[in-house]
Amino acid sequence: MADGVTIPIEQLRAAGLGPQVERLSTAVAEYLDADKTLDRVDSNVAVVSDPFGGRAALLEYAAELLGDRARRHSISGIADADELPAIQGERALILEGCHYLYRRDIDGFDRLEEFLERLAMTNTLVITGWNRYSWQYLRAVERIDEAFPLTITLPPLDAEQIESVVRAHDDGPYPDYVDTGEAGRIKTLDLVRHDVSLPGDRALSVPLVRPNVSWLVSWSIWDDDESIEAVVFEKLRRLSHGTPGIATSLWDRCVRDGADGRTIAPAYIDDPVEECDRISDDAAFLLWLVVALEGVERAQLADMLDEDAIGTEIQTLANKGIVRVGDSEVRLRPLGLHPAVEELERRGLVWP
């Protein structure tokens, strides 16, 4: 499920995406069975996920279901979106990278609005892929959810589902699970907020302490090999926040790049990215752009930000391990996602 990795449908279901797979199957089946008229625009689908969240796998599945009936098109960047694929005349269209249809700048919604206009005037089944952070922003400012009656959001996975993803990603041979006597840094207690309704349409957010039951239970049979394996995957889940692409990146880093490549222990799995705090407002906005677009060309960043500042800000984020800087592009690193999102949430830059 990481970028470039496809998982068979059985593994998708085993990885916990069964309900999402069924919803997509149903939408495609209904469309193929019925004659869609201009009056019925109830088939357009938006697949929404975090970066590295498995969106590509679900769109791949949609392509398999539709076969030759569907044309696939991928938008790889903002500039690439200037040439929108034709929709009229197609039976079905699978369009990846729709978060590149807008720029966060004056006149930046023109391309997106043109796309939505074409959607409204066509009989074609359009299945689209969106970055969650862009989707949430566009839902608030452009109400794009109204154009997609079916929205499939990919949820975070649990430890067993992460294990399925990792086994599909890594053909083996698998490392030996060893006990080094410690598990490294991991939280056994979570602080979660629970909204309590009050009279007068008000709510009070109350912090509650929630133990990490699966982690604590896996510790209870620590001497067993199976439990060490369970602890490893639980730690992968915790550090990746259930994002499959990040879990596989962590796995690769620990196993393939690890000490001897033949063993893995809970303590080997650690997050190398430092916290993303104490950054400037410009750096925070740049961070939002990179998280919401997953990759942005430097020239486009210069259009949206103060050109004099972006070099320094990009370097700051690269030094923290949040982004990877190419010749012309700045891309989000998998392990940089959650520190970045934590800082964006703290600043109120993540749209609900």
Partner 1 sequence: MAQVSTSESVTDGAALDPGTVVSAIVVLVVAYAAGRVLSAGLTAVADRLAQHRFRVTLLIPLSKFAVYGAALYLIVTTLFELTSAQLVAFSGLLGAAIGLGLKDLLADIVGGLILVVEQPYQVGDKVAIGDHYGEITDIGLRSTQLMTPNDTVVVVPNFTFLNDAVANANDSAAEMLVVVEFYIDVDADADRARDIVEDALLTSPYVRVSPEHRYTVLVGDDHYYRTLTGKAYVTDLRNEYPFKTDVTERVLDAFAREGIESPKVPAGGGQELPGE
Residue 348 in 3-state DSSP? coil
Under rule CB under 8 A, residue 140 binds partner 1: yes
Give the orientation angle of helix 213-220 with respect to helix 225-240, to 10 degrees: 160
d(CA 244, CA 337): 12
Interaction between residue 349 and partner 1 (CB under 8 A): yes
Print burial letters for 136-151: b (CB count within 10 Å at least 16), e (below 16). bbbbeeeebeebbebb
Contact status, residue 228 vs residue 266, Cβ threshold 8 Å: yes
Regarding 109 and contact with partner 1 (CB under 8 A), the answer is: yes
**Residue 268 or 288 having the CB closest to partner 1:** 288
Q: How far is the CB of 284 from partner 1 (least distance, A)?
A: 7
CA angle 133, 150, 98 (to 5 degrees): 40
- 288 touching partner 1, by CB under 8 A: yes
Q: Does 200 bind partner 1 (CB under 8 A)?
A: no
Task: Report the alpha-carbon distance of residue 61 to residue 81 in Å, rounded.
Answer: 24
Our CB check for partner 1 shows the closer of 104 and 238 to be: 104
Of 4 and 352, nearer to partner 1 (C-beta) is 352
Site for partner 1 in 75-104 (CB under 8 A): 104
Sign of CA dihedral 74, 77, 78, 79: negative
Site for partner 1 contains 347 (CB under 8 A): yes
By the rule CB under 8 A, 136 interacts with partner 1 = no
Nearer to partner 1, 130 or 268 (CB): 130
Distance CA 46, CA 112 (A): 14
Note whether 192 binds partner 1 by CB under 8 A.
no
Choice from 39, 67, 106, 200 touching partner 1 (CB under 8 A): 106
194 lines the binding site for partner 1 (CB under 8 A)? no
Compute the distance between CA of residue 257 and CA of residue 261 in angstroms, rounded to an integer: 7
Q: Residue from 52, 61, 135, 285 that binds partner 1 (CB under 8 A)?
A: 285
Size of the site for partner 1 (CB under 8 A): 18
How near is the Cβ of 74 to partner 1 at its closest, in Å?
25
Q: Using alpha carbons, select from 75, 132, 134, 76 the residue that is nearest to residue 109.
A: 134
Q: Does 352 bind partner 1 (CB under 8 A)?
A: yes
Using CB under 8 A as the binding rule, whether residue 262 contacts partner 1 is answered as: no
- Asked if residues 317 and 287 have their Cβ atoms less than 8 Å apart, the reply is yes
**133 belongs to the binding site for partner 1 (CB under 8 A):** no
- In the bound state with partner 1, the residue whose beta carbon lies nearer, of 138 and 183, is 138
Answer yes or no whether residue 223 interacts with partner 1 by CB under 8 A.
no
User: Quick one: CA dihedral 284, 107, 55, 213, positive or negative?
Assistant: positive
Q: How far is CA 333 from CA 52, 101, 181, 184, 268, in A?
A: 10, 22, 30, 22, 20
Least CB distance to partner 1 at residue 282 (A): 8
Task: Count the alpha carbons within 13 Å of 41 in the hemisphere toward its beta carbon.
Answer: 13
Q: Compute the least distance from the CB of residue 105 to partner 1, in Å.
A: 5
Cβ 256 to partner 1, closest distance in Å?
38
With contacts defined by CB under 8 A, name the span among 10-18, 66-74, 114-122, 283-291 that binds partner 1.
283-291
Q: Quick one: which segment of 20-28, 37-45, 249-257, 341-349 binds partner 1 (CB under 8 A)? A: 341-349
- Relative to beta strand 125-131, strand 45-49 is parallel
- Token pair for 50: 């975090």
Do residues 63 and 129 lie in contact, with contact meaning Cβ atoms separated by under 8 Å? no
Compute the least distance from the CB of residue 243 to partner 1, in Å: 23
**List of residues contacting partner 1 (CB under 8 A):** 104-109, 140-141, 205, 281, 284-285, 288, 346-349, 352
